[in-house]
């Protein structure tokens, strides 16, 4: 699979991710810069490529021997490594000693492995402002959001995955993440989807997710199309869901 991954071959890259996500068969030999396998002071090696951090590993005992690595290592499932690395924005680099330099898996794809490949779009993602005109949907969604006290703002983006159909993403910024609030926001979306044209996929993303690339893009590049506080409906302290009440000077 590594040999099949070349620039533009997203299908081969996706197959590699699925292999890594499979317990037992997705094992990798993690290179330890400090400590021994299983010891509290064990520390993965690190490398930087194009400004992104990666932990190097090899894919078999034979590759370990070919690499010339003379320090400790530990054999772990790719799924376990993905869960350990992505929260610190670290990727995984497979066989850096190989001809061509091996293959790097950036942290957003490790996050996909950790959370389930089919639950998140395949990268790299192309993100932009939506060009499709659906004012009825946006108006209905904003109206329903105004009736849902948990919602602070709504944003939107057009997402084109490397594999699969493009879709409209709605960014949800909420005051409260309690189960009743989540249920209310879910109901808000379901009540609004009737105004979406047939065949247009719509997904949601939580703006507070520090590791979601769509949420990151929305925070940096978009303005809300609904903003409760801009409409003068600042929640009172009794309904502020744990956030400080807003003060206007």
Q: 215 lies in a domain?
A: yes
| CATH code assigned at 51 | 3.40.1350.90
Q: Given this model, what pLDDT does residue 139 score? A: 95
Give all strands (DSSP E) within 12-120, no chain letters: 27-34, 43-44, 47-49, 52-58, 73-77, 90-94, 103-105
What the block records as the tokens of 40 is 């509290």
Q: Given this model, what pLDDT does residue 233 score? A: 47
Q: Given this model, what pLDDT does residue 232 score? A: 57
Reference 224, options 162, 138, 166; nearest CA is: 138
Q: Are residues 96 and 139 in the same domain?
A: no
Q: Are residues 84 and 37 in the same domain?
A: yes
Q: 3 lies in a domain?
A: no
Write out the chain's pLDDT in tens, 249 residues. Answer: 888 888 888 889 999 999 999 987 889 999 999 888 888 888 999 999 999 999 999 999 999 999 999 999 999 999 999 999 999 999 999 999 998 899 999 999 999 999 888 888 887 889 999 999 999 999 999 999 999 999 999 999 999 988 889 999 999 999 988 999 999 999 999 999 999 999 999 999 999 988 888 999 999 999 999 999 886 544 433 333 322 323 333
Residues with Cβ < 8 Å from 185, sequence gap 6 or more? 148, 150, 151, 172, 174
Rounded to 5 degrees, what are φ and ψ at 122? Answer: -80, 130
Last residue of a domain, which of 119, 154, 189?
Answer: 119
Last residue of a domain, which of 79, 103, 119?
Answer: 119
Q: Given this model, what pLDDT does residue 49 score? A: 92
Specify the residue for token string 């790097």: 104
Q: 204 lies in a domain?
A: yes
Contact 82, 118 (CB under 8 A): no
207: number of Cβ within 10 Å? 20
What the block records as the tokens of 237 is 């302290």
Q: Could you give the CA distance from residue 92 to residue 155 in angstroms, rounded to a whole number?
A: 32
Angle at alpha carbon of residue 10, lines to 90 and 120, rounded to 5°:
60
Q: Could you give the CA distance from residue 173 to residue 45 in angstroms, rounded to a whole number?
A: 37
Q: 244 lies in a domain?
A: no
Q: 1 lies in a domain?
A: no
Tell me how many domains the chain contains.
Answer: 2
Range of the domain at 64: 10-119
pTM: 0.73
């Amino acid at each position: 699979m590594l040999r099949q991954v070349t620039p533009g071959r997203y299908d081969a890259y996706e197959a590699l991710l699925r292999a890594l996500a499979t317990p037992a068969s997705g094992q990798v030999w993690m290179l330890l810069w400090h400590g021994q396998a299983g010891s509290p002071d064990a520390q993965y090696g690190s490398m930087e490529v194009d400004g992104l951090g990666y932990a190097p590993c090899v894919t078999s005992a034979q590759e370990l021997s070919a690499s010339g690595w003379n320090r400790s290592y530990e054999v772990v499932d790719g799924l376990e490594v993905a869960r350990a690395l992505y929260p610190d924005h670290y990727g995984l680099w497979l066989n850096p000693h190989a001809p061509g330099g091996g293959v790097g898996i950036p942290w957003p794809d490790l996050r996909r492995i950790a959370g389930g490949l089919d639950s998140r779009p395949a990268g790299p993602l192309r993100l932009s402002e939506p060009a499709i005109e659906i004012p009825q949907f946006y108006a209905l969604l904003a109206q329903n959001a105004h009736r849902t006290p948990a919602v602070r703002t709504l944003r939107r983006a057009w997402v084109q995955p490397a594999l699969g159909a493009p879709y409209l993403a709605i960014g949800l910024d909420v005051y409260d993440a309690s189960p009743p609030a989540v249920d209310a926001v879910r109901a808000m979306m379901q009540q609004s989807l009737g105004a979406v044209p047939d065949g247009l996929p719509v997904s949601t993303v939580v703006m507070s997710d520090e590791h979601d690339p769509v949420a990151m893009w929305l925070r940096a590049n978009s303005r809300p199309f609904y903003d409760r506080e801009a409409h003068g409906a600042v929640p009172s302290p009794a309904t502020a869901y744990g956030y400080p009440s807003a003060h206007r000077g």
